[in-house]
Amino acid sequence: MAYNTKLADRVREYLADFPNLKIEEKKMFRGLTFMVNGKMCVSVSGENLMCRFDPTLREEVVEKKGVQPMIMKGREYKGFCYVSIEGYKAKKDFEYWVNLCLSFNEKEKSSKK
């Protein structure tokens, strides 16, 4: 599982500023996933951020730089995208993506185990 450890540290440090969140790290999606309050929130996959967001925001999200839809087995996963370094390099862009994921995480129900 090769993923950008500096990017993972950046996500970890940003999430640490929210003491009310229960954060767990899991290796999945060929990278490192940050579970927030028991729900998948954001991942580091290779050099990319993999973001989970409100699917109703798809049109807004796909217009951002560095975004690619998440496609697995020929199917686009609604509410998921990959963001390349050009899309998250700047501090404000990075914060936009993580905040977008946190916002959806707050609303989303936990999956049944």
Q: Distance (Å, rounded) from C-alpha 28 to C-alpha 55?
A: 21
List helix spans (H) across the chain. 5-15, 58-62, 85-88, 91-107
Confidence at residue 111, expressed as pLDDT on a 0 to 100 scale = 61
Confidence at residue 53, expressed as pLDDT on a 0 to 100 scale = 97
User: How high is the mean pLDDT of the chain?
Assistant: 93
Q: Which residues of the chain have pLDDT under 50?
A: none
**What pTM was estimated for this model as a whole?**
0.91
Q: Which CATH class is domain 5-107?
A: alpha beta
Q: What are the structural domain ranges in the chain?
A: 5-107
Q: Distance (Å, rounded) from C-alpha 25 to C-alpha 43?
A: 9
Nearest to 40 by CA among 55, 23, 57: 23
Cβ proximity of 83 and 67 under 8 Å = yes
